[in-house]
């Protein structure tokens, strides 16, 4: 078993819980595991996603309803595993539409891997 971990280093950092299957994911949602690593769920919604695999980053025009998104933890968008690296603007209340929770604009995330399911 030890040799298997060396051949698949990403597996060692994966939470023990079961991820939401790609076919069941909402295309505009970011997913994270709960703090116990048992259950993965949608924690935010995105607008204007732009995937740049060559630069190994994903840019979002806006992330909203993101109160449950832990910015320091890895998250997943579609098949991509990401770490948020830069936020141009953040606000708790969007005066135009107050139901949007925490709003993040101009977000850049580093692409750290993909999930193949």
pLDDT digits (tens, 9 = 90+) for 79-105: 999 999 999 999 886 566 656 789 999
Burial 91-107 (b: 16+ CB within 10 A, else e): eeeeeeeeebbbbbbeb
Per-residue model confidence (pLDDT) at position 66: 94
pTM of the predicted protein model:
0.79
Is 23 or 5 the better-scoring residue by pLDDT?
23
């Amino acid at each position: 078993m030890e040799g298997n971990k060396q051949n698949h280093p990403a597996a060692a950092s994966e939470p023990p819980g079961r991820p939401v299957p790609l076919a069941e994911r909402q295309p505009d949602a970011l997913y994270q595991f709960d703090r116990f690593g048992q259950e993965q769920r949608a924690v935010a919604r995105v607008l204007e996603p732009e995937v740049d695999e060559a630069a190994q980053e994903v840019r979002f025009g806006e992330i909203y309803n993101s109160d449950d998104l832990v910015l320091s933890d890895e998250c997943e968008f579609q098949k991509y595993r990401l770490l948020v690296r830069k936020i141009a603007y953040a606000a708790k209340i969007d005066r135009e539409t107050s139901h949007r929770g925490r709003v993040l604009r101009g977000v850049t995330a580093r692409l750290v891997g993909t999930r193949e399911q």
